[in-house]
Amino acid sequence: MSIKYVICKNCERTFKDEYNFCPYCGQNDKEELTLGVLFYNTISNYFSVDARFFKSFIPLIAKPGYLASKFVEGRRLLYLHPAQMYLFITVIFFFLFSFIQRQQVQDINSEFEKTFKQEKKTNYELQTNDSLLIAEQQKQQAEDSIVKAKLKKVLTENKKYTHFSDSKIDSIVSKSNTNKQGIFNFDFNQSKMDSLIDSGASNESIYKFMGMKDDDGYFTKRIYSQALKFYKSREGGSILGAFYDTIPIAMFFLLPIFALILMLLYRKKGTYAYHLVFSFYFFAFLFTVFSIIIVVNFIVDIPDNIDWLIAVSTFIYFCLALSRFYNQGKFKSFIKGSMASFLFLSFVAPVTALILGIFAFLFY
């Protein structure tokens, strides 16, 4: 009796036809593609993750550091993988947060529209009322004179360091523009700006009116381009929306940096991956708490003192998790937890927010 062989459709390796499953990759060779098979595989795969998620949820909330400890000890199938759990919860969080984000964007756009309309009305009133316009100009001139006087005083007092002559100082003061802020000057006449836009003037002409020079670099020109786009659209919420959209991407950098801070504080406790496991579970806990807060706020507004209490409780959770995971005393864990929180919240998070803000403005 001859033995019949078949070729696996998945891995393309040969095995005996009497086997229902490929001995190399495990695929069912006799299974036909039907609607039942399609939906059964989809649902079973989903609920296999879902079941492990619920099995991991209670320890994540009630036992700080427990899941991370069990994972590094080798129990890696009973509970949801740290990276998988983190991704699963962050998807839920940002889905819930999208409702808040949409409302905030609409509110900010509405406020900006009101502000621009009010400024336009004020400028129109000033232009149609000579006395008001003169008073406003005199006020601005007085402020400019005070600032220039202070600038001249500082330059004169430091002549021995700068070696500037009196004529050089007078030249610097006279050329100074007290309305400039930083390297960009957006102190333009709004009514003239509106007239240029209404007349269909080219963007290049408007950029020059705003103060852009021909020899400005790409970054400076991009700033002016986005400033004009913002002025035309009056949609400040779009920048906020772009800022929020970059946060999930930023988390892929923030979380590893947080793990790096822990590795510096616990240099003898394991490799970088060891600290990354803890970070995944801890951030999963944070996003779980944030998700619960959003859901509760949909139902009833949480008072500010409750928000502060929740913030303090997450720090206590963090210290207890450190104590269990790194097997150190609670006081020592509190000190290191405070140091890690300070470094992350005082340096890493603000720098990241600044970068995201710039990115959001440049590419919204």
Domain ranges in the chain are 5-55, 56-127+188-364
Q: How far is CA 279 from CA 153, 251, 320, in A?
A: 54, 12, 14
What is the rounded CA–CA span in Å between residue 77 and residue 88?
16
Backbone φ and ψ of 28, nearest 5°: -75, 115
Measuring CA to CA, which residue among 214, 144, 212, 138 is closest to residue 174? 144
Residue 188, burial from CB neighbour count under 10 angstroms (0-12, 13-18, 19+): middle
What is the rounded CA–CA span in Å between residue 156 and residue 320?
60
Cβ within 8 Å of residue 100, ≥6 positions away:
294
Asked if 243 and 357 touch (Cβ cutoff 8 Å), the reply is yes
Kindly state the helix (H) or strand (E) to which residue 1 belongs, with its residue range: none
**How many Cβ atoms sit within 10 Å of the Cβ of residue 224?**
20
What is the rounded CA–CA span in Å between residue 61 and residue 289?
9
Q: How far from chain centre, in Å, is Cα 342?
A: 19
* pLDDT for the residue 42: 58
pTM: 0.67
Q: How confident is the model at residue 161 (pLDDT cuts 50, 70, 90)?
A: very low
Kindly state the percentage of the chain with pLDDT values over 70: 71
Q: How confident is the model at residue 213 (pLDDT cuts 50, 70, 90)?
A: confident
What is the rounded CA–CA span in Å between residue 125 and residue 190?
13
What is the rounded CA–CA span in Å between residue 174 and residue 155?
13
Asked whether residue 115 carries a pLDDT value surpassing 90, the answer given is no
Mean pLDDT over 28-46 rounds to: 64
Q: Give helix then strand counts, H and E, for the chain.
A: 14, 2
Asked whether residue 120 carries a pLDDT value surpassing 50, the answer given is yes
**Residue 181: strand, helix, or coil:** strand
- For residues 356 and 338, the model is more confident at 338
**How many Cβ atoms sit within 10 Å of the Cβ of residue 69?**
20
What is the rounded CA–CA span in Å between residue 262 and residue 274?
10
Q: How far from chain centre, in Å, is Cα 221?
A: 25
Averaged confidence pLDDT in the chain: 78
**Residue 300: strand, helix, or coil:** coil
Q: How far is CA 320 from CA 64, 221, 226, 310, 331, in A?
A: 6, 50, 46, 15, 10
Asked whether residue 185 carries a pLDDT value surpassing 60, the answer given is no
Asked if 72 and 277 touch (Cβ cutoff 8 Å), the reply is yes
Asked whether residue 11 carries a pLDDT value surpassing 80, the answer given is yes
Mean pLDDT over 332-350 rounds to: 93
Asked if 71 and 60 touch (Cβ cutoff 8 Å), the reply is no
